[in-house]
Amino acid sequence: MKLRCDCGNVISDSTDNLPYKCNLLPDDGYWDNIHQPIVQGVLDFATAIQKGTKEEWLTKYFGEGYPRDLDDASVISDLVGTQLSRGPTAYQCAECGMILIPSTTKNGYAGFAPVDDDWHDVLAWRKQTR
Ligand SMILES: [Zn+2]
């Protein structure tokens, strides 16, 4: 996926671990739409393994086309990844620092320009200092 910033720079999303991309987890609805479905899905998966109904669980959560030869950790990883990607994805332009977030009122992105020059890597992963 590619999108063009107003400054003309093309932002590319074609690989993992991009320091200028961030999946947003809105606090509004986070518990009901992201956190709780992960907890419930993992619990349901554990119960399905225990009861021998893993096949039905895989169909319910991922459909008929989902691979059946994955180990349990990979299935849980897919479950968590699916839920975490339900929020909007933000991108930061590496040229001008503009943060682009999908618009809620029209097609395309809403742009948020930095107020000063201290904008580099604001969407990159940071180690906690405490
Ligand atoms: Zn830009």
Q: What is the model's pLDDT at position 130?
A: 65
Q: 55 C-alpha vs ligand 1 centroid, how far in Å?
A: 47
User: For the residues of the chain, what is the DSSP string, one character each?
Assistant: -EEE-TTSPEEE--SS--TTEEE---STTHIIIIIHHHHHHHHHHHHHHHHT-HHHHHHHHH-TTS-SS--HHHHHHHHHHHHHTTS-EEEE-TTT--EEEE-SSSSSEEEE--SSS--TTTTS------
What is the pLDDT averaged over residues 8-24?
94
pLDDT at residue number 127: 72
Å from CA of 2 to ligand 1 middle = 13
- d(CA 50, ligand 1 centre) in Å: 52
Q: What is the pLDDT of residues 95-116, one digit of tens each?
A: 999 999 999 998 999 999 999 9
Give me the residue spans of the domains in the chain.
Answer: 2-24+88-112, 30-84
What mean pLDDT comes out for the span 124-129? Answer: 77
